Structure 1
């Protein structure tokens, strides 16, 4: 039998890689983007990669090139070395999960996506659990790799765990098996695949459904019709009209 994640997970829109906007000097997954999300009272989704010391850092890609212009893999550098690399030419460097949690101080929920790295899953899970062990805020973890969440459950079983997923209807059996076998409590699904047999089934089971990544009026409508909450980017969800208003006519308010 499936167990649902707590309701706080879907109470507020979730800022994808925090509330980033390069026009305002805020890079994705940066301390500045976290602060902006906190000011706007949005939940935060962010990504975790493993550093050379085993301490998780808040960063999406496995390599440095796209966000810093530097060469090399994140896992080959220490947190101190990574902090010297500036994100998208802003003032923020790459920071540890611990540093981000200290800045958040439990003021908004955070959903952590653990990125799998072959041979380092154990280190990433244990490093994340160590950072969260004394954290009092609302936090959940998720991954495309359900075995990562399964390992995490052995360390901090009270923290909600979810599956990040995508794919057409042919993937339903695999997704359903993962949700049941790995005791996952919510799902974060590719909005462009909705409606989907997996999310329809989970709605019937009252399991929270989050979409990613919502950027357009059509994707907002898909979320409203087939899910519980959005992971958004590039607009302010609090400015959106009620569901009976045509979003294409209204337009999306960008930052």
Structure 2
């Protein structure tokens, strides 16, 4: 896909430039502002609220990071906005809220959290939010069905596949054949990703390297937390998604 140089032009702050010890929590507007001040691109996670409104939050439950509890999907965006992150004044933003703050100061990469059912209705809601955003933005997901949904719904929107070897564990409900297809990106003929985000610890790997070398797809890595991992990424990929240090 032409015009994706911005995707790899600068390091990508994983869930924003968060630092819990100093009160900056992942996927918050504070983490977004910190990343912008440092000049990093931002990776964020979105999932649906009760009404399929895209909200920026990683875990499927509220318990780890907030003063609330239970599933994110059980509440509305308005209700979620009333729940504080532990030890901060930050609230859970919608994707629209997040983009309004970033306003193309830096690129944004939106990881869509799903249950591996594709969730095309939710993808359509995300695409609807992004269609009026004039900044540099891309979507990506572990779920090939989600990537394929964006291919059909918003073909001009840059889309990527997130993957790893899955050697340590496999997603619940999947067969080893399912995992093999994910590991080796065998859905590529259908999903037609514009870029790949692959686990840094699993590189080099045949499928992402082939897509990079043969087809010229940008390859970014996750999640880089050390200089050793950064050197590995520099050898095999085009850019890092990092946390825990200043890249």
| TM norm structure 2 | 0.89
CA distance in 2, matches of 1:197, 1:33: 34
2:223 aligned with 1:213: yes
CA deviations 1:162-187 (Å, max 9, x no partner) are: 10001069847853322232111111
What SS class does the counterpart of residue 53 from structure 1 fall into? coil
Asked whether the 8 Å contact 1:141–1:160 carries over to 2, the reply is yes
CA distance in 2, matches of 1:118, 1:149: 11
Asked whether the 8 Å contact 1:179–1:185 carries over to 2, the reply is no
Q: Which residue of 2 aligns with 1:201?
A: 210
What SS class does the counterpart of residue 26 from structure 2 fall into? coil
Instruction: Trace 1:29-68 onto structure 2 (pairs within 5 A).
Output: 29-68=27-66
What SS class does the counterpart of residue 204 from structure 2 fall into? coil
Asked whether the 8 Å contact 2:166–2:183 carries over to 1, the reply is no
Runs of 5+ unmatched residues, structure 1: 238-255
Deviation at 1:154, TM superposition (A): 2.3
CA distance in 2, matches of 1:89, 1:235: 21
Q: Which residue of 1 aligns with 2:243?
A: 233
Asked whether the 8 Å contact 1:115–1:143 carries over to 2, the reply is yes
- The CA RMSD measured in Å over matched residues stands at 1.9
Deviation at 1:217, TM superposition (A): 1.4
Deviation at 1:58, TM superposition (A): 0.3
What SS class does the counterpart of residue 158 from structure 1 fall into? coil
Instruction: Trace 1:74-113 onto structure 2 (pairs within 5 A).
Output: 74-113=72-111
Instruction: Say which structure is richer in helix.
Output: 1
Q: Which residue of 2 aligns with 1:180?
A: 189
Deviation at 1:121, TM superposition (A): 1.1
Asked whether the 8 Å contact 2:16–2:27 carries over to 1, the reply is yes
Q: Which residue of 2 aligns with 1:249?
A: none
What SS class does the counterpart of residue 223 from structure 1 fall into? helix
2:159 aligned with 1:161: yes
CA distance in 2, matches of 1:175, 1:47: 23
Deviation at 1:25, TM superposition (A): 1.7
Asked whether the 8 Å contact 2:144–2:161 carries over to 1, the reply is yes
Q: Describe the shift of the 1:227–1:208 C-alpha distance in structure 2 as closer, same or farther (beyond 3 A).
A: same
CA distance in 2, matches of 1:58, 1:220: 26
Asked whether the 8 Å contact 1:211–1:229 carries over to 2, the reply is yes
Q: Which residue of 1 aligns with 2:171?
A: none
CA deviations 1:175-223 (Å, max 9, x no partner) are: 3322232111111001111111122212212211110000011100110
Runs of 5+ unmatched residues, structure 2: 168-178
